[in-house]
Amino acid sequence: MKGKFYHHLEEAIGNIKKDRSVAQELLGDVSEYIGENKERHKDVGQVAAKYLETLQRSNEQLVKLTAMMQKMEDMDYGDLSGTDKDKLFDSFDSDDAESEDK
């Protein structure tokens, strides 16, 4: 179940990143177009607003996914305190570093 969830989570994050990239590129094009002639703002201002809305929605989606991931992590580690979790992760990091040195 978790494996499938994480697969979908990675896919969702990939889609969000792709959508953000496209929206940023298009917003850049609109900004450049407006920059050439300020009168164009009235023609494409609504389009620019839609691209900004897309970026805002993707930010909200990332925040929600992060909260979900934190909840799952908390469930995985039970009642460990933040300090205990940090120590556990640090021990993993030091184990990895030792393995790389060998």
The more confident residue out of 22 and 78 is 22
Query: Per-domain residue ranges for the chain?
Result: 2-101
For the chain, what is the mean pLDDT? Answer: 81
pTM for the model = 0.58
pLDDT tier, 98 (very low <50, low <70, confident <90, very high otherwise) = low
pLDDT tier, 28 (very low <50, low <70, confident <90, very high otherwise) = very high
Predicted local distance difference test score (pLDDT) of residue 33? 93
How far apart are alpha carbons 51 and 20 in whole angstroms? 9
For 64-85, what is each residue's pLDDT tens digit?
888 888 887 777 666 666 777 6
Quick one: 70 exposed, middle or buried, by C-beta within 10 A (0-12, 13-18, 19+)? exposed
